Amino acid sequence: MTLKIGVIGTGAIGREHIKRITNTLSGGEIVAVTDVNQESANQSVEQYGLNAVVFPDDATLIAEGNVDAVFITSWGPAHEGSVLKAIEAGKYVFCEKPLATTAEGCMRIVEAEMKHGKKLVQVGFMRRYDSGYVQLKEAIDNNFIGEPLMLHCAHRNPTVGESYSTDMAISDTLIHEIDVLHWLVNDDYKSVQVLFPKKNKYAHQGLRDPQMVILETKTGIIINVEISVNCQYGYDIQCEVVGEEGIVKLPEVASITYRKNAALGANILMDWKDRFIDAYDVELQHFMDSIRDNGEPNGPTAWDGYIAQVTADACIKAQESGRKEDVVLKEQPDFYKNNLKTAQ
């Protein structure tokens, strides 16, 4: 069975996903596309030689597109409306992060999905599919370093555009750590705090960069995450877990080392597209395979999207207050329990 897919948002990541479904993965075909910028939608069809219909908007694509699943890769504020329309029509959904830009919006999606009665939605938290994080999780789950006590992490982008704002360091960037780290240590967040170090001279006016986020889990694990989005030198993701009996660290991306001009060096990637290329492949193949084999996706759920957004909202509040803010989650409905939530 080939999963017929419609793509809503043919920008940077929309096209990356179109490309991998068309050229790399098996079991899916892009049959419909739309974008608020119609020219972009037309170009994506031409660029990848798709046999796909271009629709004027998400509503018509979902209603008339003859699709089994929709990929929502538009900008964040548009996600909620498209997800709700897709659930209403009983279509499977792969939605890039954030699921919705507020916790209330995520909860509306959770409620709509539960009302529908079957899981339809997977959120694009691809780090759970990255082999480095999967190895870290295996080490922690097998008690290799004893109980985790502290995590030291960094999320660095070389540069960002003028439209990137201080809160986006949380809602657009940290959101990946928010999701993957509590999954990694099997714990929930209790509180968050945000510190603003000395400002990087490369940060545009109005943007506070870098930022240091401190998350505390319910069992007392302290996690610090440096967010730097003007680090200049590369796209660099770091994660070190300090346990009772040892330390495990996210592997560096494999690269040749060189000796040249009196220096010993290795290349660093510059772009998220390259850093997580394998994780995106595994993530989307898993989405399609789960639907084929089990009749529903079993990657990160709408409930995971809700947890991430509640935590992100608390971080944004902490940016403004300068204080420690509590993370208050509703109780997880039975509907979302016993989900595999992993790539394995």
Convert residues 275-304 into a mask of x (bound to ligand NAD by CB under 6 A) and - (unbound): -x----------------------------
- Per-residue tokens: 164: 């990137």
Choose which of 2, 12, 47, 64 interacts with ligand NAD (CB under 6 A): 12
From the list 30-38, 182-190, 193-201, 250-258, the region that binds ligand NAD by CB under 6 A is 30-38
Cα–Cα dist 14/11, whole Å: 5
316 Cβ contact partners less than 8 Å away, ≥ 6 residues apart: 167, 170, 171
Can you give the C-alpha Rg of the chain in angstroms? 20
CB of 330 to ligand NAI, least distance (A): 24
CB of 124 to ligand ISE, least distance (A): 8
CB of 303 to ligand NAI, least distance (A): 18
Restricted to residues 59-98, the positions that interact with ligand NAI (CB under 6 A) are 73-76, 78, 96-97
Restricted to residues 21-40, the positions that interact with ligand NAI (CB under 6 A) are 34-37, 40
Give yes or no for a contact between 122 and 287, defined as CB atoms under 8 angstroms apart.
Answer: yes
Give yes or no for a contact between 81 and 104, defined as CB atoms under 8 angstroms apart.
Answer: no
Residues in contact with ligand ISE by the rule CB under 6 A: 157, 172-173, 176, 272
Q: Does 13 bind ligand NAD (CB under 6 A)?
A: yes
Q: Does 242 bind ligand NAD (CB under 6 A)?
A: no
Tell me, rounded to whole angstroms, the distance of Cα 206 from its chain centroid: 25
Choose which of 3, 5, 13, 31 interacts with ligand NAI (CB under 6 A): 13
DSSP string, 269-300: ---HHHHTHHHHHHHHHHHHHHHHHHSS--SS
Q: Alpha helix locations (H) across 20-102? A: 38-47, 58-64, 79-88
Q: Which is nearer to ligand NAI, 106 or 221 (CB)?
A: 106
Convert residues 141-180 into a mask of x (bound to ligand NAI by CB under 6 A) and - (unbound): -------------------------------x--------
Cα–Cα dist 152/80, whole Å: 32
- Per-residue tokens: 250: 């996210």
| Bond from prior residue into 197 cis (ω within 30 degrees of 0) | no
Q: Write the DSSP symbol of residue 200.
A: P
Q: Which is nearer to ligand NAI, 9 or 28 (CB)?
A: 9
Convert residues 74-93 into a mask of x (bound to ligand NAD by CB under 6 A) and - (unbound): xxx-x---------------
DSSP string, 168-192: HIIIIIIHHHHHHHHHHTT--EEEE
Q: Does 96 bind ligand NAD (CB under 6 A)?
A: yes
Restricted to residues 153-182, the positions that interact with ligand NAD (CB under 6 A) are 172
Cα–Cα dist 54/32, whole Å: 6
Q: Write the DSSP symbol of residue 321.
A: H
Choose which of 14, 105, 243, 300 interacts with ligand NAD (CB under 6 A): 14
Cα–Cα dist 276/316, whole Å: 26
Q: Which residues bind to ligand NAI, rule: CB under 6 A?
A: 8-14, 34-37, 40, 58, 73-76, 78, 96-97, 124, 126, 172, 272, 276
Q: Which residues bind to ligand NAD, rule: CB under 6 A?
A: 8-14, 34-37, 40, 58, 73-76, 78, 96-97, 124, 126, 172, 272, 276
